Structure 1
Amino acid sequence: MQTTVLERVEQVADGAVSLVLRGAGGPLAAWEPGAHVDLALPNWLTRQYSLCGNPADHDSYRVAVRHDRLSRGGSEYIHLFLRTGRTLDVSLPRNNFPLLPAPEYLFIAGGIGITPIVPMLAAAVEAGAPATLVYVGRTLATMPFADELRANHGDRVRIYATEDRGRPDLAALAATLSPQGLVYCCGPTSMLDAVEAAFPAQRLHVERFQPTVKQFAPDQPFEVHCVRSGQIVRVGAEESVLDALNHAGSRVRSGCREGVCGSCEITVVDGEPEHRDDIGAPPGRMYCCVSRSLSGRLVVDL
């Protein structure tokens, strides 16, 4: 974890604020567009937020938070109680949504889903690639960074305030994209579903804030063998690997507990994990908040 000080809170849209976090002990860890961090809040909650500042700035991070009416305590605390000068622990950046090289980009963002897209658009423009942002929100007043984006990128940015202009024609956008162009999208589930229906999967990259609904066989108990500690942990049918490990004393960090952030990644030495996450665990890894085991015994590096 890195120690930061909350330097600035800015209203960036109706119901949304940005936080500027300055490193308390020197430069902060480097990051690339698409990365996010875990923010440890003073109310004992940990939440994940996309970095939306400038990757060349190693002294501070910027994130943005919308006040969720159904908040589980994270956004509510930030909007109502968090004040400048507060010391906050921030994880090293992780990137499950990296910007890949391409001759052309189309970025599509909905609401607070603009946060990972802000530095992506800037990086694409800096690289000299043709890039277009289609930014969708209910009204202009509810869309974070809309003015900043238009000031920095001009007519590369197309704003769709749906109460006035309706929604973009995704089929028309797909028809005009070059064969080698890539599409990056972040936003609500309804937008992601529509984008996935409109664009070829091999050219589309999405980041979800909520997991997709999946069907699996009924959960079965199994054992997790921890190589370094020698401990054998039984995972019941009604509990997650994460909870079983933590209850047994093998502490594993976690954030979303929904398989979308990657903070609970562990190394699998032997056995066959059943991956249930939404970000695609790399070979030899699993996200233990949601994933389970297809074998009766799973050996992990803990």
Structure 2
Amino acid sequence: MDMIIHERRDEADGVVSLTLGRPDGGPLPHWAPGAHVDVALADGLVRQYSLCSDPADRQRWRLGVLREPVSRGGSEYVFDKLHGGDIVAVGEPRNHFALEPARRYVFVAGGIGITPILPMIAAAEAAGAEWTLLYGGRSRASMAFLPELAAYGERVTVAPQDEVGLLDLAGLVAIPRLGTLVYACGPAPMLDAVGALMSIWPAGSLRVERFAPKVLEDAGGESFEVEFASTGVTATVDPGRSILTVAEEAGIPALWSCREGTCGTCETPLLAGRAEHRDSLLTDVEKADQNTIFICVSRAERGCGRLTLDL
């Protein structure tokens, strides 16, 4: 849908927010904390940005955008080309980082990873849950939305690296806490460290959102067959090729956006077989359930020669 940029605002060094609405002033679709949207930029370029406004506001959506030092074109376009009054095409909200009910939350944000956390904090506050936030960044000047977070007082710990060093993740999550969910979003080293520290927590305690795909030690794999149940077509997926690519070559329509396993657009029900999940979205519990697969990156488990997909 086409949306107009009502306001572009500098939130920190290298971070801007875009406030969007429908050109006709009509209501926007519902969304919940953790949701993101696709934004269509130039020449077929599509990028995903987390919604960081109030879900109850049906007139305005806010996005936070970091200017990446080595841009692949998305952030560069936003910073150099988009201004108030411009029209952009935006997709429906999708949510693979949903805030689940809990008595207590620990939020961990690094840099622009604060964007999906902002509405989560507001929701936890409204629900009367206990919560804390540890928010890190290179410097205080580079950390967006600090004035908003200041209203929450001591529950928010702001930890600029140039002032306090690396985040004290061990002091935060090394000891399991029953009834607590941990939501983390930020750079991969931070997320990997949180995951390692929480290996002894109850399954499902950690939820993460990655802005870049996980680096896999073994990105190869072996050939397997995939059956597309809607058409009865069966095709071979060789090493180095994705199910998505094979589906496209077979003329089977499949939605996609990132081709990196980070956006969730290509999620497909898994009807039979066992997948080797290479996405950055599913929790360990969801992977074990074997109910869904992201066909842009995931494959059949080694030794499983065939997958059947609802596609």
TM over 0.5, yes or no? yes
Counting only pairs closer than 5 Å after superposition, residues 111-126 of structure 1 correspond to structure 2 as 111-126=111-126
Are 2:257 and 1:220 equivalent residues in the alignment?
no
Deviation string for 1:131-180 (max 9, x for gaps)? 22111111111001112211x32232221112122234333334788542
Counting only pairs closer than 5 Å after superposition, residues 226-241 of structure 1 correspond to structure 2 as 226-241=228-243
Counting only pairs closer than 5 Å after superposition, residues 28-177 of structure 1 correspond to structure 2 as 28-150=28-150, 152-174=151-173
Q: Which residue of 2 aligns with 1:286?
A: 293
CA distance in 1, matches of 2:189, 2:305: 37
CA distance in 2, matches of 1:218, 1:158: 41
Q: Which residue of 1 aligns with 2:182?
A: 183
Q: Which residue of 2 aligns with 1:299?
A: 308
Local SS of the residue matching 1:29: coil
CA distance in 2, matches of 1:217, 1:119: 35
- Out of 283-292 and 176-185, give the one that drifted further: 176-185
Q: Which amino acid aligns with 2:131?
A: A
CA distance in 1, matches of 2:57, 2:19: 11
CA distance in 2, matches of 1:19, 1:41: 14
Local SS of the residue matching 1:121: helix
Give the superposition deviation at 1:297. Answer: 3.7
What percentage of residue pairs aligned between the two structures are identical? Answer: 46
Change (3 A) 1:205 1:11: same
Change (3 A) 1:76 1:238: same
Change (3 A) 1:285 1:145: same
CA distance in 2, matches of 1:249, 1:40: 24
Local SS of the residue matching 1:115: helix
CA distance in 2, matches of 1:6, 1:249: 37
Q: TM-score, normalised by structure 1?
A: 0.89
Change (3 A) 1:180 1:88: same
CA distance in 2, matches of 1:101, 1:284: 22
- Out of 232-241 and 68-77, give the one that drifted further: 232-241
Flag structure 2 segments of 5+ consecutive residues without an equivalent.
none
8 Å CA contact retained: 1:43, 1:77: no
Q: Which amino acid aligns with 1:137?
A: G
Flag structure 1 segments of 5+ consecutive residues without an equivalent.
none
Q: Which amino acid aligns with 1:251?
A: P
Change (3 A) 1:63 1:299: same
CA distance in 2, matches of 1:268, 1:244: 16
Local SS of the residue matching 2:152: helix
Root mean square deviation of aligned Cα: 2.3
Deviation string for 1:82-124 (max 9, x for gaps)? 2333332222222211212222222111100101111111111
Are 2:240 and 1:249 equivalent residues in the alignment?
no
Deviation string for 1:39-61 (max 9, x for gaps)? 12233111111111101012222
For this pair of structures, how many residues does the alignment match?
300
- Out of 215-224 and 80-89, give the one that drifted further: 215-224
Q: Which residue of 1 aligns with 2:213?
A: 211
Give the superposition deviation at 1:263. Answer: 1.0
8 Å CA contact retained: 1:184, 1:205: yes
- Out of 278-287 and 74-83, give the one that drifted further: 278-287
- Out of 208-217 and 36-45, give the one that drifted further: 208-217
Local SS of the residue matching 1:34: coil
CA distance in 1, matches of 2:37, 2:118: 16
Deviation string for 1:1-60 (max 9, x for gaps)? x33222221111111111112134632221111111111223311111111110101222
Give the superposition deviation at 1:75. Answer: 0.9
Q: Which residue of 2 aligns with 1:12?
A: 11
8 Å CA contact retained: 1:104, 1:178: no
Q: Which amino acid aligns with 1:278?
A: S
Give the superposition deviation at 1:218. Answer: 4.3
Q: TM-score, normalised by structure 2?
A: 0.87
